[in-house]
Structure 1
Amino acid sequence: MQFTETELKGVWLIEPAPVVDDRGSFTRLFCEKEMADCGLATRFVQHSRAHSVKKGTLRGLHFQDDPYAEVKLVSCVRGAIFDVVVDLRPNSPTRHRWLGFELTPSNMRQVYIPAGFAHGLQTLTDDAEVAYLISQFYTPHASTGVRYNDPAFSIAWPLMPTAMSERDRTWPLLKQRTAAAAL
């Protein structure tokens, strides 16, 4: 496995290295030792999947508030997605910056998302499926988000959204969250 830390400290692109022979291939997708050697979390208490029917479906930008902040390891197991992370860490020099990654079953890339980041994705194909390893249990009262089209981030989504939950469509803008926190 190849581990590449991105310009957003703590976000890693993980690229498995398949072993190929005349039978096909074998690929290790997770190795506790290799992840720990990079200083990454290795305990995941939930494994979830999200299936999206339509190309252009947008999910996010989601996160859980402290003390329930999550680490996620995300991969695409069917179709293709544009996976986005946004740095929301208060003292980070890259606060409010974002990165996007194309994830597909054929490139087998995984994105390691540390606590303190919002996460979202957009499907690039119909019938896309995403797998998540998650370090914290889902805690409904801590589950929150920021709006996908917030001008504070100016995310360059590849497509116009074709499907989105009402919740994702109406998350507060960052300046609204900041103003509410100051009260």
Structure 2
Amino acid sequence: MAGGKPYLVGHQEFAALYGVEAQMVSQWLAPSRAVLDPATAIVVSGVRYWPLGFACRFGQMTARPKTLHLEVKERLMAEQGEGWMAFSREELPPIVGQQEIIELFRLPKQGNLATAIATGRFPECDWLLSGSRLWLLDSVIEAAPGLLNSARSLPWEVDEQVAAALREGRYDGPGSVVFTRGRHARKRQ
């Protein structure tokens, strides 16, 4: 794993790479289609994200090859700033979203985090993908002392067990699962 920030894509960015609607990525993931293996993605705050390198190779790995839009790839890389190209989920550092952060700091409610973000006390997100903010776990942990110093009543102390679970890829708390919707969800009930 390289240091720094890898390039990532969510559903919207993945779809844009191939000039399709974001719903198509969900269809590729559907068990009835089995075009895109869900295990190729990481799950952050209940949403799948893929390394950009994998997403760019995906079009040539399918039975019906898809054309990669290189201009979209370049735009995504420029929007994400300096980074590196990962090709598998195993290469990615620990990445968190709001659900994991709430658990990491044992915040009593989501509004506490939302206020810290809105007032600029929380660190700037490392990615804004498909409308969601994501952070490197290390970015969040490094910000803890500053958050603690600026807090009126919240402790902003890192739960080391949650941090270890996130680092080791064994976190199973809020946000660790994608909830299936639609007809496939009904079949599992």
Higher relative contact order (CA 8 A, sep 6+): 1
What is the TM-score of this pair, normalised by structure 1? 0.24
| Bigger Rg over Cα | 2
Higher strand share: 1
Higher helix share: 2
